[in-house]
Amino acid sequence: MAVISSGQNSGHSASTIKQSPLVRTLGAAVAALPAYHNTYADAPPEFTEVGLRYSHYSEDNLSTDNFIAGARGRYDIDVTQLWIEAPIGSSWSIAVDVQNDSMSGASPWFVGTQIDGQPGVIMSGASIYDNRVEVGATTRYFWADGNAGFNVTHSKEDDYEALALAFDVAWNSSDNSRTWSASASTSNDRVEPVNGNIPVFIDREDIDTASVYFGVSQILSSTAIVRIGLGYTYSEGYLSDPYKLFDARPDEHSRTALSGGYRKFFPEAQGALQIDYRYYSDDWGTDSHTAEVAWHQNFERFALTPYLRYYSQREADFFSVIADLDEEFYADDFRLSSYGAFTVGLRSSIQIGEWQVEGQLERYESDNDWGLYDGEAAPALVNFWRATIGISWRFD
Amino acid sequence: MGGPARLVIEHPAPNAASARAVCQTVEALLHDLEARYSRYRENSLISQINRLAGTGTLTPVDEETLALLEFCGRLWEQSHGLFDPTAGILRQVWDFSSGQQGDVSKLSDLLPKVDWSKVLQSEQGVGLRDVGMELDLGGIVKEYGADKAAQSLRDHGFNHALIELAGDVVAVGSKTSGAPWHVGISDPEAPSKTLLTIELTNCALATSGSYQRFIEINGQRYSHFLNPHSGWPVEGAASVSVISDSCLTAGAVATVGCLHSGADATTWLEEAGLPWLNIGPAGECSGPLAPQSSSR
């Protein structure tokens, strides 16, 4: 028997093996064999999955420095989601998703001037309560080189109703190293604002939206993948916010977004680096950058993913801190202002047999000074917490 | 495929039924490879090609077979003809089962029929140019089968497994604990004993050797590897082991290592650049995997 003493006898793995010219020459022939086509034919999920997720979203109260009147307490939203996804035969799957949002709190009504001359927010009076129920169904067909899905979603709340149809398709290259994806969707939204704490001035309006997306992802190596996508969305109809006193927006809105991402798995660390970027631009003069970096760390039965996201946008052409009613279009909505925002969060999941429990906690803070673009500071910029917990069960 | 097969799958308890099912899938795919590529089976694709040798008739083959032949051609080029799937007919002279030297005068008739360049390949199929030629993919099919079994396991979601086909091993991922798989390399002098243990994660170890099949001529031990240029057995290594990301590549490099003699084997293995172990006829170990001290 031997004494095992060679330093090179430990830790051999695919990632530590060098590729000499000779091995690369052989490898080109190896790669043509079916056993080494290491991405797989598209197939429906092998299991039925049932899941329940609860999320709580809580905006910080408006700062007293920026507050003039109304209620300082801003939105709290409880989101409950139930879904089921199941294979049907060998080529189809179906998924049904039901979501309930319960919302309470006050929202900015308009921006005025405080005694010291600084802008301040007049909030809606007492708390608003609303409930939204959304039901979506998706059916998907799988074939050897791709899959295609069709989705119908209906959403209803007291003052808003929406119906959306979406179609998406993804197909793989013959060597399975590249995946193209495309989607198209259309929706019709109906706004019927209700008079409550604040007056509204419309009875019923419609919004029609259509969007398309095309993307491609490319496997760079056994541990790296990159993707890029381009999307375009067009809306027309009543695009102003009926619950804001001074809000008159164009009745058309074109948006374009270019996004990209890179994933790199590090086998020794059992972790993956995720980098994503998105550029957005619209015909209201707004454009924005979103960058996110995350580290996905696998452990034996659970995973942790800390992430950091940065967002910066340029204000819309018709935005001003205090709405300029002399213009054709005007708005004082902080969501149309120039600002920057950071989100820091942690996602986790743990596998217990056929059960998976997941949790997520994130903090979002925004500030005019953090943005890349010039523009006056909107006093109603929001900060919030969001916490999510979910459980899902897979069975044959 | 001429040896024992072993499959180890680590999986959560609820997946036992799926694991048993995938074992059957792996067994079926190995049987399928044997049915198509075994020269011992009369109805195999290889036997059909061999029966039609010299007739000018091509046998239609599937893309997988074409790709395997393409790999053979690439290895034949890289090994300067030492690896030649048409060399099987030389066994008519050398009977390894009895350990006896045959009639070497037959070599002059046989050697012209040992020539990979006479394997006809086109879109219509595959054929052998001369009567008496034979194709034998035994040198690569077992290793390819191990890789194919590993891929099947991954396709079915089993990412912690070990496949062993007659000494060739593929590690699918690590153990579920994250620890590497421990794989032993046999002592050529005593094949039931482990000479050393190697840690593998998501890669393959192939061993080619003569310790189970050899021939002695005038007291000189020859390996069962036959030099396709001379027709004589090679005075080469007792065994060569190679690690690569695919068992097919590891086995190919190890086999050609065994077809070389002495220093040429070392040159070939170093050129390949993969981790290797060469155990010489007298049991001496060399290569990056060699134990630094041994007490055999």
Nearest CB neighbour to A9, from listed B67, B196, B272: B196
A89 torsion bin: left (phi>0), alpha (psi -120 to 50), beta (else): left
Burial A33-62 (b: 16+ CB within 10 A, else e): bebbbeeeebebeeeebebebebebbbeeb
pLDDT at position A333: 95
CA distances from A13 to A95, A252, A255, B203, B205 (A): 39, 56, 47, 5, 11
Residue A6 falls within a domain, yes or no? no
Contacts of A8 in chain B (CB under 8 A): 275, 288-289
- Say which residue the tokens 């198209």 belong to: A184
Length of chain A equals 396
Chunked into runs of 10 residues, chain A (396 residues) has average pLDDT values of 40 69 80 64 75 97 90 93 89 94 91 90 81 96 87 94 97 80 97 80 91 93 85 97 93 97 82 94 97 90 92 97 94 96 96 88 97 94 97 86
Chain A residue nearest residue B73, CA to CA: A29
C-alpha distance from A175 to closest chain B C-alpha (Å): 14
Contact A345, A317 (CB under 8 A): no
Under 8 Å between Cβ of B7 and B162: yes
Question: Which one-letter DSSP state was computed for residue A319?
Answer: B
Tokens of B155: 């396709």
Report the Cα–Cα distance between both ends of chain A, in Å, rounded.
Answer: 48
How many Å apart are CA B50 and CA B52, to the nearest integer?
5
Among A295, A311, A303, A329, CA closest to A382: A311
Q: B275, A12: Cβ pair inside 8 Å?
A: yes
Q: How many CA atoms lie within 13 A of B41 on its CB side?
A: 16
Q: Answer whether A300 sits within 8 Å of B271, measured CB to CB.
A: no
Q: What is the DSSP letter of A8?
A: G
Residue A153: the pLDDT is 97
pLDDT of residue A36: 74
Q: Cα(B270)–Cα(A80) distance, rounded to whole angstroms? A: 62
Task: Select the residue of B68, B78, B196 nearest A25 (Cβ to Cβ).
Answer: B78
> In which residue are the tokens 């048409």 written?
B86
The residue ranges of every structural domain in chain B are: 164-286
* List of residues 6+ apart from A121 with CB closer than 8 A: A62, A66, A67, A68, A70, A108, A109, A110, A111, A112, A379, A380
Answer yes or no: is A7 within a domain.
Answer: no
AA letter at B53: A
Residues of A in contact with B271 (CB under 8 A): 20, 22
Distance from CA of B218 to the nearest CA of A (A): 30
Q: Is residue A273 part of a domain?
A: yes
CB atoms within 10 A of CB A18: 9
Identify which of A22, A33, A300 has the shortest CB distance to residue B144. A33
Is A17–B194 a contact, with Cβ atoms under 8 angstroms apart?
no
Claim: this prediction has a pTM higher than 0.90: no
* pLDDT for residue A265: 81
How far is residue B57 from each of residues A173, A190, B52, B123, B130, measured CA to CA in Å? 35, 73, 6, 13, 11
* B264: enclosing H helix or E strand: helix B262-272
Q: Which residues of A touch B199 (CB under 8 A)?
A: 9-12
DSSP A20: -
User: Under 8 Å CB-to-CB from A377, ≥6 apart: which residues?
Assistant: A321, A337, A339, A368, A369
d(C-alpha A98, C-alpha A251), whole Å: 31
Question: B250 vs chain A: nearest CA distance in angstroms?
Answer: 9
- Domain-located, residue A5: no
DSSP 3-state of A182: strand
- In this structure, the strands spanning A247-248 and A224-237 are unpaired
Task: Give the Cα-Cα-Cα angle A209, A192, A242 (nearest 5 degrees).
Answer: 80
What is the DSSP-derived secondary structure letter of residue B60?
Answer: P
Residue in B with minimal Cα distance to A34: B64
Q: Are B68 and B147 in contact (CB under 8 A)?
A: no
Of A12, A18, A33, the CB nearest to B68: A33
Residue A254 domain-assigned? yes
Considering only CB atoms, B272 lies closest to which of A9, A23, A34, namely A23
B191 φ, ψ (degrees, to nearest 5) = -55, -20
- Where chain B has pLDDT below 70, the residues are 1-2, 13-14, 98-100, 210-214, 292-296
pLDDT at A37: 62
Q: Look at strands A146-157 and B214-217 and give their pairing.
A: unpaired
Number of structural domains in chain A: 1
Structural domain harbouring A34 = 13-395
Q: Which residues pair with A296 in a beta bridge?
A: A272
Q: Are B141 and B1 in contact (CB under 8 A)?
A: yes
CA distance B181 to chain A (A): 9
Residue of B nearest to A355 (CA): B14
Mutate to test the interface with B, among A3, A10, A15, A17 (most CBs of B within 10 A): A17
Residues A69, A53 contacting (CB under 8 angstroms): no
Looking at chain B from residue 124 to 153, which residues have their Cβ under 8 Å from any Cβ of chain A?
144, 147-148, 150-151
B164-286 CATH choice from 2.102.10.10, 3.40.50.720, 3.30.1360.200, 3.10.520.10: 3.10.520.10
